[in-house]
Amino acid sequence: MRRFYRAFAQSFILIAIGAIIGAAVNALSSQPIPWIRPPKSMEEKWPAADAQTVLQHIQDGSAILIDARDANEFEAGHLPGAVNIPASEFRKSFQEFADNLPRDIPLIVYCQGGECDQSHEVIQQLADLGFEKLLLFPGGWQEWEKEKFPNEKSSS
């Protein structure tokens, strides 16, 4: 029984030391992980556009659409004229379009919709690169399909 308590005490000490080291590394990190994840706010950080507004921008040619989904989802169907800059490959994909993305017209970023966070990741990275005219289409592909608006498919 004594061995059990000793092993338990040693295990507890190792876990405590690991937790302290982990907390210290996290505190010193340039991108620390929050201790408590704040609840998703109903108020978005980015100005939002609904499907009708996005359709109007497409018809006017007054914005560039950025699809943040993976390439296979994009190829299966996307908003007309959208460019694919997947969140998972942002740096690589962005380089292909960097020279052609104007800063004087809005960039509308979308993903699947619903609980999808890919559009939030891409729009934040665009903001970090100095783009200011950014809109989020939170309804994304799901809302677009529900509205039965026109779409495109990529030919492979």
Q: What is the pTM of this model?
A: 0.71
- Confidence at residue 116, expressed as pLDDT on a 0 to 100 scale: 86
Beta-carbon contacts of residue 105 (< 8 Å; ≥ 6 apart): 62, 63, 64, 133
- Confidence at residue 103, expressed as pLDDT on a 0 to 100 scale: 87
- Confidence at residue 156, expressed as pLDDT on a 0 to 100 scale: 53
Burial bucket for residue 132 (CB in 10 Å: 0-12, 13-18, 19+): exposed
Rg of the Cα atoms in the chain: 22
Pairwise CA distance, residues 50 & 135, whole Å = 10
Q: Are 51 and 147 in contact, with CB atoms under 8 Å apart? A: yes
18-36 pLDDT, tens digit per residue, is 999 988 888 887 778 877 7
Q: Report the candidate in 72, 69, 71 with the shortest Cα–Cα distance to residue 121.
A: 69
Pairwise CA distance, residues 34 & 121, whole Å = 17
- Confidence at residue 97, expressed as pLDDT on a 0 to 100 scale: 84
The segments of the chain whose pLDDT lies below 70 read 37-44, 155-156
Give the 3-state secondary structure percentages of the chain, helix then strand then coil, rounded to 5: 50, 10, 40
Q: Measure Cα distances from 16 to 20, 21, 80, 150, 155 in Å.
A: 6, 9, 54, 57, 55
